Amino acid sequence: MINMKENKILFSTDVFFKEVEDIEPIPAVRDIPEWYKKLSAHGVGKLNIKGCQPVQDALTSGYLLRLPQDMEIAYNFFNKDIGKKVISVNFAMENSHFYHNLLQANPQAHDIAQVGGENSFLAQKNSSHGKASIPKIINPFKILTPPGYSCLFLPPLLREYDHFHIIPGVVDTDTYHQTVNFPFTFNKDKYPSYKKIFKRGTPYVQVIPFKRNNWKMEIEYKEDFRNANFNWGTKIIHRYKQLFWNKKKYS
């Protein structure tokens, strides 16, 4: 087992990638989405979502993995050369002599049989005019955490670049010391047809480390459940932030 200090997460890869710009993982706080930044300041008489600390925590928690190479997606896109609509995923390495085995020279995918067949929930998200598959992105970084810590992998929360979403998962990154690759589905409800190049460096995974614990659920019913907290009632704005919130830091 690799000796890891508590509260440290390690992203490890081949020295080859030291020369590749814009692909190192970054704290999520370094990629605040434009729609959020453009909002006016939260204040008395002009309340908005910037005053919601839980939303800010969602945007800034953990770290972001970024695409290690350009990726082109054609989803439900009419290909004039063959006269029909297609689904395709292509990578920059596909037609290049420049190669590393941790990059994709050819698209990789899981057969839909692995997610329950053509009528399954995940297959339906990727189906359009032909047999569906579940493409995946090869991640060149191993992700290592201290003993007792795992990582939750999610699509980047509340970001604009949402044409596709990785399938979320939890990995025990304290014991699993291999790269984690990411199958994904298309956001076809929002983008029913598109052809787009996602540039190297585009964030595509949010990584949130957490300490594993066993939990037991209880349910309670209280007659005075709705009684207000006095301090809460005397604040105009930033109630949650000033009275209950705990600062989180990812660097």
pLDDT tens across 166-210, in order?
999 999 999 999 999 999 999 989 999 999 999 999 999 999 999
Residue 72: in which H helix or E strand, if any?
Answer: strand 71-79
Best CA proximity match to 208, nearest among 167, 161, 149? 149
**50-72: average pLDDT:** 93
Mean pLDDT calculated for residue range 239-250: 81
Q: Give the pLDDT confidence of 115-152 residue by residue, as tens digits.
A: 877 777 777 877 765 557 889 999 999 999 999 999 99
The CATH code of domain 10-243 reads: 2.70.40.10
**Domain extents for the chain?**
10-243
Any residues with CB less than 8 A from the CB of 194 and at least 6 apart, and which?
73, 74, 75, 76, 77, 163
Task: Determine the Cα–Cα distance for residues 83 and 113; give it in Å rounded to an integer.
Answer: 28
The Cα–Cα gap between 32 and 190 comes to 22
Specify burial of residue 210 (Cβ count, 10 A radius: 0-12, 13-18, 19+). middle
Q: Is the dihedral of CA 166, 169, 174, 179 positive or negative?
A: negative
Residue 28: Cβ within 10 Å count: 23
Q: What integer pLDDT is reported at residue 97 of this predicted model? A: 47
> To the nearest 5 percent, what fractions of the chain are helix, strand and coil?
20, 30, 55
